[in-house]
Structure 1
Amino acid sequence: MKKGCLFDLDGTLVNSIEDLAISTNEVLKLHDLPTYDISQYRLFVGNGVKKLMERALGQEHIDLLDECLNDFQKIYRQHCLDHTLPYQGIKELIDDLKAKGIKMSVVTNKPHALAIKIVETLFPDTFVAIYGQQDLYPVKPDPQSTYLALMAMKLDKKDCLFIGDSQVDIDTGYNAEIDSVGVTWGFRGRQELTEAGANDIVDNPAQIMEIIQR
């Protein structure tokens, strides 16, 4: 039985795509640039805010990147919880894991302060550690933030699972030598998780408990 879980945030614990998309579109409008349908943002997210903005701007407007990043931080900070909610079944899973004494942390490429705001609002007093994007360490799939979370939980990598919805998360698990679980309800889907080599792929949160207990 596993003793700990490291969760990605966006697309895994919470559905944040609408707030991310609306905020990015507001930035694009500020600069008189074309916006995107919310569904298109599923392919833009996953590698941090800088990469999200690079993809939204495209190479032809990349000179606006720094200014747009600043605009995004201001707008998204105010609206990051307008529509963002846990996926169906996630609260039940988290409560069950907590009751069974399974330690949990969040490792995400979302900016650190925003990750803390969202996690502590939606899942108060739940996670041992929250590691978002900051200058102290590289973004996923680099494993450094994952190692920090393991240290905070005081667990060995063999006793944990890394759970996420994209290749970035599966690669993070591989790089950290932690078994990975891909979730199909997120932003990328089963094919990407299969091609990335996830150790397990689940279609609902309850299946994660089955993997932990086997």
Structure 2
Amino acid sequence: MKKGCLFDLDGTLVNSITDLALSTNEVLKLHHLPTHDISQYNMFVGNGVKKLMERALGPEHLDLLDVCLQDFQKIYREHCLDHTIPYDGIEELITYLKKQNIKLAVVTNKPHALAIQIVEHLFPDTFVAIYGQQDLYPVKPDPQSTYMALMEMRLDKKDCFFIGDSQVDIDTGYYADIDSIGVTWGFRGRQELENAGADYIVDNPYEIMELIQNENRG
């Protein structure tokens, strides 16, 4: 029986790619560097802000990494909710899970303060635990932040799903020994989820409701 769901944030609960891309491009402009099409950022995100900036800068400009990260934090903090909204069906899914007394958590590689800012604005009073990237623990797919969320939820790993849109999330579920659900509406698509070995793959949030119903019916 499933009693909890741990969600990735970007590409899973919310479509944040435009704000991430525009903020990163603004940093690149500040340093007179070429920018990237928004579509390219689908492959830049997922491993934390440092890796996002490394990919955007390219190997020839990594000497600017530290100052660009500082610039990004300032710019993105001001613009992280300009275009970022929940995916279609997510609010209905969250409402359903809460009615079923399913405990909810967010485990993301987005910086912790920004994760809290976005989650609490778009989903107030909803998640038992929110864990973003901090120096206290490694980024996903290391399972440490997931274990901390489980402790705060007071649930065993066998009682939960880990839900995300990329290999990083499926690997996190694997390393934490939690059943994983890959979502195809995010930044990476079905092929990456299949290659990563997701336990389940869904094409819309309503299929997660069905999975919960089937698990808890049997």
TM-score, normalised with respect to structure 2: 0.98
Separation of aligned partners in 1, 2:117 and 2:84: 12
Q: Within 5 A, what are the aligned runs for 1:61-76?
A: 61-76=61-76
Separation of aligned partners in 1, 2:159 and 2:143: 16
Q: What's the CA shift for 1:66?
A: 0.1
The answer to whether the Cα contact below 8 Å between 1:19 and 1:80 also exists between their aligned partners in 2 is: yes
Separation of aligned partners in 2, 1:137 and 1:213: 34
**Equivalent residue, structure 2, for 1:139:** 139
**Equivalent residue, structure 1, for 2:201:** 201
**Equivalent residue, structure 1, for 2:49:** 49
Q: How much identity, in percent, do the aligned residues show? A: 82
**Equivalent residue, structure 2, for 1:37:** 37
The answer to whether the Cα contact below 8 Å between 1:2 and 1:213 also exists between their aligned partners in 2 is: no
Separation of aligned partners in 2, 1:204 and 1:158: 23
Unaligned runs of 5+ in 1: none
The answer to whether structure 1 residue 117 and structure 2 residue 117 are counterparts is yes
Q: What's the CA shift for 1:213?
A: 2.0
Q: Counterpart amino acid of 2:76?
A: Y
Q: What's the CA shift for 1:148?
A: 0.3
The SS at the match of 1:70 is helix
The SS at the match of 1:39 is helix
Separation of aligned partners in 2, 1:76 and 1:28: 13
Task: Tell me how many residue pairs correspond in the alignment.
Answer: 214
Separation of aligned partners in 2, 1:96 and 1:161: 15
**Equivalent residue, structure 2, for 1:159:** 159
The answer to whether structure 1 residue 21 and structure 2 residue 21 are counterparts is yes
The Cα offsets for residues 103-147 of structure 1, whole Å up to 9 and x where unpaired, read as 000000000000000000000000000000000000000000000
Q: Counterpart amino acid of 1:110?
A: K
Q: What's the CA shift for 1:22?
A: 0.1
Separation of aligned partners in 1, 2:61 and 2:78: 25
The ranges of structure 1 where at least 4 consecutive aligned residues each deviate by more than 3 angstroms after the TM superposition are none
The Cα offsets for residues 37-59 of structure 1, whole Å up to 9 and x where unpaired, read as 00000000000000000000011
Unaligned runs of 5+ in 2: none
**Equivalent residue, structure 2, for 1:2:** 2
Q: What's the CA shift for 1:164?
A: 0.0
Separation of aligned partners in 2, 1:51 and 1:212: 34
The Cα offsets for residues 3-34 of structure 1, whole Å up to 9 and x where unpaired, read as 00000000000000000000000000000000
TM-score, normalised with respect to structure 1: 1.00
